[in-house]
C-alpha cells in the first residue's frame, strides 16, 4: 500500500552545517517531495534560527508565494525585545499571512533562550485562542520535560508538538506527557525507536504522532519508510503520515 504524506517539518534557506546533499530553495524542496511522493509540507526558514526571526519569516512568505503545496510556519518568541509584536497581534498577523503553525526554539547556539512562563504567557494564550499548533524544539540539548508539561497543562486547547527530539528507547520521560496531556504530540523526524511508533499507538492511539522529515538535514525517504513500515493497521499509519496534521490545521481558528 502507498500512503499519502504531509510533512510537518521541512526547511528552506541556508544553514552553516555541512551537508553533502543540501538544498535551499522552495523549488528544490518541491523536487525532492515529488521524487519521494510527498504531497504537502509545513515549511520554516533557516534564517529564523540562524539570523533574524522577522527577516526569516518575511523571506519565507516571499519564497513560498504561489506554491500551494508548501505552507508557511513562522518562528515566534516573546515580544519584549521588540523584534516581534505582542502575542495577540502577532497571531492575528500570522493568520492574515496564511500561517497556521508556529515554531518556538529554545537552546539555540549562542543563546541561552529558555522557556519562561511569565514571558510567554501572552503569546501562548493567543495561540491557544485560535488553536494554532506550536512546534517546540530544543536545538542543542534534550527537551526540558517540565517545560513541556507546564505548557500543555496551562494551555490545554493548544496543540503542543515536540520536534527534532532524537528520541530513543532510552528516553522514557515523554511517556507521562503523552499519558497526561491530550494536547501533546510528537513529530516523527527525530524518532527512531524499535517498533516505536507501534508502541505509542498501542499505549496512546495513533492520533499523537505527526509525520515529519526535517529535510534537508535528513533524508525524506527514511522518515517515510519508518511510518509506512510500522506494524499497525493501514488506517493508523495514514493518520500519522498525513491525516493527524490535516486535522490539527483544520481546527485553527475554529
The edge-to-edge listing of strands for the beta sheet with 70-75 is: 6-12, 40-45, 70-75, 101-106, 134-138, 160-162, 184-187, 209-210
Give the shortest CB-236-to-other proteins separation in angstroms. Answer: 12
Q: Which is nearer to other proteins, 6 or 44 (CB)?
A: 6
Interacting residues with other proteins (CB under 8 A): 1-3, 5, 17, 19-22, 35-38, 166, 168-170, 172, 190, 192-199, 202, 215-231, 234, 237
Q: Which is nearer to other proteins, 71 or 237 (CB)?
A: 237
Residue with cell 485553527: 252
Q: Which is nearer to other proteins, 83 or 168 (CB)?
A: 168
Give the shortest CB-140-to-other proteins separation in angstroms. Answer: 14
Question: How many Å apart are CA 69 and CA 43, to the nearest integer?
Answer: 10
Give the shortest CB-39-to-other proteins separation in angstroms. Answer: 10
- Give the contacts of 12 (CB within 8 A, at least 6 positions apart): 24, 25, 26, 28, 29, 43, 44, 45, 46, 60, 63
Give the shortest CB-31-to-other proteins separation in angstroms. Answer: 11
Q: Which is nearer to other proteins, 109 or 170 (CB)?
A: 170
Q: Which DSSP state fits 253?
A: T
Amino acid at each position: 500500500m502507498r500512503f499519502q504524506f504531509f510533512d510537518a517539518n521541512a526547511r528552506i534557506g541556508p544553514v552553516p552545517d555541512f551537508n553533502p546533499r543540501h538544498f535551499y530553495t522552495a523549488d528544490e524542496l518541491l523536487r525532492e517531495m515529488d521524487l519521494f511522493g510527498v504531497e504537502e509540507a509545513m515549511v520554516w526558514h533557516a534564517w529564523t534560527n540562524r539570523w533574524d526571526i522577522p527577516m526569516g519569516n518575511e523571506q519565507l512568505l516571499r519564497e513560498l508565494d504561489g506554491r500551494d503545496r508548501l505552507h508557511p510556519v513562522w518562528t515566534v518568541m516573546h515580544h519584549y525585545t521588540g523584534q516581534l509584536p505582542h502575542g495577540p497581534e502577532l497571531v492575528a498577523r500570522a493568520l492574515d499571512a496564511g500561517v497556521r503553525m508556529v515554531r518556538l526554539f529554545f537552546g539555540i547556539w549562542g543563546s541561552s533562550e529558555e522557556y519562561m512562563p511569565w514571558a510567554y504567557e501572552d503569546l501562548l494564550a493567543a495561540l491557544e485562542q485560535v488553536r494554532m499548533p506550536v512546534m517546540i524544539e530544543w536545538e542543542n540539548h534534550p527537551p526540558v520535560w517540565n517545560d513541556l508539561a507546564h505548557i500543555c497543562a496551562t494551555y490545554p486547547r493548544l496543540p503542543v508538538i515536540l520536534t527534532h527530539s532524537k528520541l530513543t528507547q532510552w528516553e522514557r520521560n515523554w511517556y507521562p506527557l503523552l499519558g497526561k496531556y491530550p494536547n501533546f504530540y510528537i513529530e516523527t523526524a527525530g524518532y527512531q525507536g524499535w517498533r516505536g511508533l507501534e508502541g505509542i499507538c498501542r499505549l496512546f492511539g495513533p492520533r499523537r504522532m505527526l509525520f515529519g522529515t526535517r529535510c534537508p538535514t535528513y533524508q525524506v525517504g527514511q522518515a517515510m519508510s519508518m511510518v509506512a513500515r510500522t506494524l499497525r493497521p493501514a488506517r493508523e499509519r495514514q493518520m500519522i503520515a498525513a491525516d493527524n496534521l490535516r486535522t490539527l490545521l483544520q481546527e485553527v481558528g475554529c
